[in-house]
Structure 1
Amino acid sequence: MEFTIRQEVMLKAIADVGKAVSASSVHPIITGIKISAGQKGLTLISSDFDIFISRFINQTIEALEIVEIGEIIVPFKHFSELFKRLPNGNVWIKSDGLSIVLKAGEIEVKWKGMNAGDFPELPEMDPDYSVSLEEKVLARLFKQTKFAVANQIRNPVLAGVNLIFKDGFLYCAATNSHRLALKKIKINEQQIEGSYIIPGTSVHELLKLLGREDRMIIIHISQQYIRFEAGGLMVYTRLISGRFPDVHQLVPDHPETEIALNAKLLLRGIERSYFLSSDSHNHNVKLEVQGPSSLMLSAAGPQLGEIIEKQPLLGSSGICRLKITMDGKYLLDALKEIEEENVKFCFYGNLKPIVIRPLENDTYLHVISQVRDY
């Protein structure tokens, strides 16, 4: 293998595929990245067995010239750190499949690689469906839901983000059984129907790659894998098998009380209350509706003290006096993802979950369980 490539082009490709590199000492082969020089261009691949990232650089661009085809695995960490320290300009790379030589100006580096034949192969896919979404739309879809994924893997399906295609809509949901984040968007492909669970860890890595460019993402879906493709970048992730909870049944209806507030003002108030309760075990924040025009926030910590804050309501309906206790972190996570100016809280009764949604946007919502306050 022999080729010449611009330092900044190779560095970006290394950074992209580095999102899937494993730190495992059990399988040292996946601590590296596979570099393949072919007739049409250069391909870099990384994998931790659950997620694969492939980055292709076309030889037609001026930044790449392939002299001889071949492939090798190089240690990601050292290879990445080296390229960051090389000067801008062309880097000449040559490999015999087991070792590699780099030259950049007066700099020459030699080191050992690993046999590329031992690297896991990209999954073979025969997609059931394909759909195209704007990259920024897809990034927002994941960002507004993935934080609600369960951290503990007692129920594997709750460790993932659920994509549901139904009636011309794509629903994205995540829940840990105490809270639910649900977002929907309209799609053009009316014929797609199905439910697929993407590991939360894969969504986390995808978000590091998405949302930076004005381009379309093509999503290919099979029974075992889902692939996200944009230009020369392809991300494969294994799907979680199992049945995700019916999220629409988790959303209550017919609220007893509804209140509307300024989202940013409420967020700052919850942040102050959460701070005061941060030295307690459960970070609880109390919300008390005191008539049709005001909401009282309060929290206390055994070491820091107590805070009480009154905020104005933009509107209210139903029962005008109630008092509930919520997990402050769950409230913060939900409010941070609401981009609109005003927010609506819906209450359904004693110890029943509440629903938080933008006041004038029905495309996404959060369901959060109340906390028993003894």
Structure 2
Amino acid sequence: MKFIIVRDRLLDALNHVMKAVSGKTTIPILTGIKIDVTKDGVTLTGSDTDITIQTFIPAEEDAKQNVTIVESGSIVLQARMFNEIVRKLPTNEVEIQVTNEVQTHIRSGKSIFHLIASDANEYPLLPNINQDASFPMPADLLKSMIRETVFAVAVTESRPVLTGVNWIIKDQSLICVATDSHRLARRKAKMEQVQEDYDVVIPGKSLNELNKILENTNTPVEIVITEQQVLFKTDNVLFFSRLLEGNYPDTDRLIPNEFQTTMKINGKELLQAIDRASLLARGNSHNVVRLETLSEESIEISSNSPEIGKVQEEISLDLCEGEQLKISFSAKYMMEALKAIGEDHVIVQFTGAMRPFILRSLEDDTILQLIVPIRTN
């Protein structure tokens, strides 16, 4: 095997596949990156069995030569070492040659590295997915749906299914829901080009890594969902993720329909006030901040730490209807919910001091955030 490749193009591809490589795997060959070279270009594959990322570098692209293929073949190189070497090579032209099946020589300028490769036949095969049953999704929509929900997944493995985001596709609509049982994030969108119904749970870790790959792309993403895997295809990148097993809880029953207090408020002002109050709240175990209605025109945000002191801040309301209220909640959860909504005008609706409350945008009813309050003395 022998090819010459543009270093910057190789680095871009490595940045993608390295997201799927874990140093903790029990399968030694998965600490490596598989390199397949054909007359059409170079394919890199990284996997930790949960996530598999494959990226293709075409030999020629937009009338530019990325790769010169001298001899085709396949090998597996130790991922972290190969990545570090490529980053530090002195020139933008890299020659990679394999002799005696595993002796790999990497040349750039006057530098030459000699690495021992592994047999590519030992590398696990990609999941077998029928890619004909795909549906498109705008990249910006997919990125926003991930950003507005994935932060609310559970971080502990006590209920593994809650470490993922529930994707329900029904009646040509997609509903994404994440909850850790203390808060909930929901986002809806129309999906008119989807004919099938789905109800799957995608690991939060997978969606976070996918979002990094999609960061600089606006190309529509092709999505394929099977019983055990989901595949996202974009810009010469295939992103496979396993799906989580188990039944996701019915979250609709958690969302209240009747409210005792409704507020309309500037979301950015509320976020900044809670951020300031949280400076003193860090001393308590749940980062607790209190909200109290003062009148129909204002509320008070406060926090108290016996060791440090207390903070109080009054915020004007656009509207306040219903009963007076005192409620305590996690500053972290509230700030993340407000950031996900990301709007100036936010509606916050309460059903009492110890019942879950919801936040939503005044302009966009597709985003909903729910938070369970914290009991304080």
TM-score norm. by structure 2 comes to 0.96
Q: Which residue of 2 aligns with 1:107?
A: 111
Partners of 1:211 and 1:22 in 2: how far apart?
Answer: 21
Q: Which residue of 2 aligns with 1:295?
A: 299
Query: How many pairs align?
Result: 373
Are positions 1:90 and 2:93 aligned together? yes
Q: Which residue of 2 aligns with 1:205?
A: 209
249, 252, 258: which one aligns with 2:253: 249
**Could you tell me which amino acid in structure 2 is paired with residue 56 of structure 1?**
F
Quote the offset at 1:126 in angstroms.
3.0
Q: Which residue of 2 aligns with 1:336?
A: 339
Aligned residues of 2:273 and 2:313 also touching (Cα < 8 A): yes
Change (3 A) 1:129 1:175: farther
Partners of 2:256 and 2:68 in 1: how far apart?
Answer: 60
Are positions 1:39 and 2:58 aligned together? no
Change (3 A) 1:279 1:34: same
Aligned residues of 2:2 and 2:69 also touching (Cα < 8 A): yes
Are positions 1:269 and 2:262 aligned together? no
Q: Which residue of 2 aligns with 1:63?
A: 66
TM-score norm. by structure 1 comes to 0.96
Change (3 A) 1:129 1:290: farther
- Provide Cα deviations, 1:170-221, integer angstroms capped at 9, x if missing partner: 1111001111000011112252212110111111211211131121100011
**Could you tell me which amino acid in structure 2 is paired with residue 334 of structure 1?**
A
Change (3 A) 1:278 1:367: same
Structure 1 portions without partners, runs of 5+: none
Quote the offset at 1:231 in angstroms.
2.6
SS at match of 1:337: helix
Aligned residues of 1:129 and 1:222 also touching (Cα < 8 A): no
> What's the % identity of the aligned pairs?
35
Moved over 6 A (4+): none
SS at match of 1:291: coil
Partners of 2:91 and 2:168 in 1: how far apart?
Answer: 45
**Could you tell me which amino acid in structure 2 is paired with residue 179 of structure 1?**
R
Change (3 A) 1:296 1:187: same
Structure 2 portions without partners, runs of 5+: none
TM alignment of 1:205-244, pairs within 5 A: 205-244=209-248
Are positions 1:365 and 2:372 aligned together? no
Q: Which residue of 1 aligns with 2:135?
A: 131
**Could you tell me which amino acid in structure 2 is paired with residue 274 of structure 1?**
S
Aligned residues of 2:33 and 2:79 also touching (Cα < 8 A): yes
Which has the larger displacement, 42-51 or 188-197? 188-197
Aligned residues of 2:325 and 2:352 also touching (Cα < 8 A): no
Partners of 1:308 and 1:225 in 2: how far apart?
Answer: 49
- Provide Cα deviations, 1:266-295, integer angstroms capped at 9, x if missing partner: 111000111111011221111001221101
Are positions 1:72 and 2:82 aligned together? no
**Could you tell me which amino acid in structure 2 is paired with residue 363 of structure 1?**
T
- Provide Cα deviations, 1:121-176, integer angstroms capped at 9, x if missing partner: 11011369422111121111101100100011111110111111012211111001
Partners of 2:132 and 2:165 in 1: how far apart?
Answer: 19
- Provide Cα deviations, 1:36-71, integer angstroms capped at 9, x if missing partner: 102322100000011100001112331111111111
Aligned residues of 2:278 and 2:289 also touching (Cα < 8 A): yes
**Could you tell me which amino acid in structure 1 is paired with residue 126 of structure 2?**
L
Partners of 2:284 and 2:306 in 1: how far apart?
Answer: 7
**Could you tell me which amino acid in structure 2 is paired with residue 91 of structure 1?**
V
Are positions 1:322 and 2:325 aligned together? yes
Partners of 2:295 and 2:91 in 1: how far apart?
Answer: 65
Quote the offset at 1:260 in angstroms.
0.9
